[in-house]
Chain A
Amino acid sequence: MPYRILLTPRLVRPGRLAAGAAATLLIAAFATPPPANAATVKTSYDVDGAGKSAEYVPGEVVVRFADAVSAAHIDAAVERAGGNVVARSAVTPSRVVLAVPAGEEESYAKRFRALRSVRAAERNYVFHALWKPNDPLYQFQWHFNKPGFIYAEQGWDVERGDPRVIVAVIDTGVAYENHPIPSYEREEVDGSSYVQAPDLAGTSFVAGYDFVHDDEHPNDQNGHGTHVTGTIAQTTNNNLNVAGLGHLCSIMPIQALDNSGGGTSADIADGIDFAREKGAHVVNMSFGGSALTEIIKTACDDAEAAGLVLVAASGNDGADTVLYPAGYDSVIAVGAVDYDGELTWYSNYGIGQELVAPGGDTKVDKSNDGYPDGVLQMTYDQMYEPGLLPGFPEALANVTTFTSYFLQGTSMASPHAAGLAALIIASGYTDNDDVRNKLRGSATDKGLPGYDTQYGYGLINCKGALEPGVPEVDECGNCAQLSLAEIALFFGLFFGAYGLIFVRRKFKA
């Protein structure tokens, strides 16, 4: 593989459970392991007692002596006050970095501040670049920029993607090229020619395929696939429109859904196989159905075995059932949360839910930006609309003009997770199990403590997922964290059952 491999320590989280070993479970519940998002130990320091904290290098202090102070004087002062000089500034030799015992940084800094020859002394604080896209509508992409939410900006400071990392988008196609509409597709869309979305002009694409029409031009016939693609890799920092999460990664457009947004398992399986054979690393599937079909399951299993990361939408029925393909073991099921990080009214959940990501809620404007809280990306101005009412025939998508739409749905949540998976791969983690564990282990816990069937492992966290190391997350690792109510219920049922046994034996006797 062309990517650098990071040799990082594996972070071991206690609290493994043997299935059925309920007693162990109970004990482990009291010995609650660290939360899922505590993937790395970060040294921090309370700056002003107001809850603000600053990151610093443990065991280091920076001391700035007066300019006139000689190197010999500095060495003598350090010898008296303590510590060892580990670095001397090349540009300002009177500023040195001292090694001191970890945990005693502040007391050493104080000692040096007391010296008359010292202008300043303090911990060696850590600062991060704060990169923000310059796209004018980025301000409305709360799903990326809301502080303390999915930490996209902090993630971008670490990794913005790599064109060698390929995300296959199996959908209604993507508005990725300017291309004449073939004769056999003219009745399915409006417009004279397929046109590339302006805010996909700088996005990297690799060859895809249209399995609905069996040709090599998977242009979007609906508008859905273009919006989904935008969340993953909209051209970003181009002073135009909006941003995408994994914006420097490549997209492999695959059409398996027709102009109305429907597709068959035959075409979808072809799309998954194509992604596997053509070298995609991540597959996004913002569609679903209730059928547990062997055909798509087998294709997903093959793709996972080949090392791909598969991500899919959980469904929009608001039901306790994750749709397929999200429901397969080999696929990461993604539910939708709103601006507050709460599961949306429409999002499916249930056994198999693995992560949640912003899917939006266009009924409200909690972001207070004057617009409904949908996920904002570019797509066709006239998307496909079905003719649901008498007298209102279906409206075909016009494939020539574009705008930005706030849409909601688990369709919109899934590409957030897929984009983050691509960023993780770009950062050097090429094993799909590692990628999945980084997604799970870094997720911000929501709902019941630990894994639960509403939020899965929690809300995707770009900052945490892009930190070094692979958290060890096993299937039951987080089940140890039960709520007090659950523990009380456990004891109640446990002793209730024994009471019944006792009474029954008494009667028998």
Chain B
Amino acid sequence: MATTEKEAKMGTDAISARTVAPLGRLSTALSVAVLAAAVASVGGTSCGPVKSSHETAGVVKTEDFVAGQIVVWFDDDLGDAAVDEFVAKTGGEILERSSVTPSRVVVAVPAGEEDRYVEAYRRLEEVRAADKNYTFRALPEGGGAGSSDAGKYKINGE
């Protein structure tokens, strides 16, 4: 299942336009478009809040996830029995069924093979989304929620 719509457009379009188009074959329109893209990228101005993946932004970060787990979201009208059947056929074992969206399940798979299983599930027409069970963190900068103490100050007297 495609994960990006507009998400990747801004970064990939700008980069590919600049690197692929040979100068000698620039049409007027293309050159203008390329230069506009260059202006936007150099100046920090872009056309609205178009999202980008990390890869297209040129920054690759470590993606943390729960080893040995993937999350699979089947079509919402699929019953529990059908979900069980698909998992039995595709591989892995249901660890947890979402209480709010029962068509979404956490599936236990062999650690290190998460990507392979994710791809297998994504190939199923009945699957809306499948991914590793990624982890996220609260975002205070210093102080609380898993960060160092710096950045947190108590007020005295109320």
Seen from chain A, the residues whose Cβ lies within 8 Å of a Cβ on chain B are: 17, 19-20, 22-23, 25, 136-137, 140, 171-172, 209, 211, 214, 222-225, 227, 240-241, 257, 260-266, 268-270, 273-274, 277, 286-298, 313, 315-316, 319-325, 327-329, 333, 344, 346, 350-354, 359, 362, 371-372, 374, 376, 379, 381, 383-386, 388, 403-412, 414, 447-448, 450-454, 456-457, 474-479, 482-483, 485-486, 489-490, 493-494, 497-498, 500-501, 504
Contact = CB atoms under 8 A, between A and B. Distances in A.
A294 B144 contact: no
A265 B131 contact: yes
Contacts of B112: none
Interface of B: 1, 3-7, 10-11, 23-24, 26, 29, 31-36, 38-40, 42-54, 57, 59, 61-66, 69, 71, 73, 96, 98-101, 104, 106, 128-149, 151-155, 158
A391 B135 CA distance: 27
Contacts of A501: 23-24, 26
Contacts of A388: 148
Contacts of B135: 262-265, 289
Given A384-B144, A456-B49, A504-B24, A224 B138 contact: yes
A479 B153 CA distance: 40
A431 B35 CA distance: 37
A353 B52 CA distance: 10
Contact of A409 (B6, B10, B53, B140): B140
16 contacts: A171-B138, A240-B158, A264-B135, A269-B101, A273-B101, A274-B100, A286-B138, A288-B137, A295-B104, A351-B11, A384-B144, A386-B148, A408-B142, A409-B141, A479-B48, A497-B35
B39 A383 contact: no
A262 B137 contact: yes
B22 to A, nearest CB: 10
A450 B43 CA distance: 12
A222 B26 contact: no
Contacts of A410: 139, 141
Given A405-B143, A485-B43, A294 B130 contact: yes
A265 B7 contact: no
B47 A17 contact: yes
A122 B29 CA distance: 58
Contact of A19 (B1, B47, B52): B47
A23 B28 CA distance: 11
B98 A269 contact: yes
Given A290-B63, A482-B43, A497-B31, A277 B154 contact: no
Nearest to A386: B146
A450 B38 CA distance: 17
A171 B146 CA distance: 13
A405 B145 contact: no
A407 B143 contact: yes
A451 B136 contact: no
A354 B154 CA distance: 31
B152 A362 contact: yes
A408 B140 CA distance: 6
A383 B50 contact: no
Contacts of B59: 319-321
Nearest to B56: A351
Contacts of B106: 266
B29 to A, nearest CB: 8
Contacts, number: 336
A266 B38 contact: no
Contact of B132 (A240, A260, A291, A351): A291
Contacts of B46: 351, 451-453, 479
Given A171-B138, A223-B145, A261-B146, A451 B48 contact: yes
A480 B52 CA distance: 21
A140 B156 CA distance: 11
Nearest to B8: A292
Contact of A289 (B43, B136, B148): B136
B63 A289 contact: yes
Given A261-B145, A290-B63, A405-B153, A269 B43 contact: no
A351 B99 contact: no
Given A20-B36, A266-B104, A504-B24, A409 B139 contact: yes
Given A257-B138, A261-B146, A329-B7, A270 B51 contact: no
A287, A313, A344, A372 interface centre (most CB from chain B within 10 Å): A287
A406 B128 CA distance: 42
A265 B134 contact: yes
A137 B153 CA distance: 14
B136 A298 contact: no
Contact of B128 (A274, A291, A298, A489): A298
Contacts of A22: 32-33, 35-36
Contacts of A333: 49, 51
A269 B97 CA distance: 12
B49 A475 contact: yes
A294 B133 CA distance: 10
Given A23-B32, A351-B57, A454-B44, A261 B144 contact: yes
A17 B40 CA distance: 14
A222 B45 CA distance: 38
Contact of A140 (B4, B23, B50, B155): B155
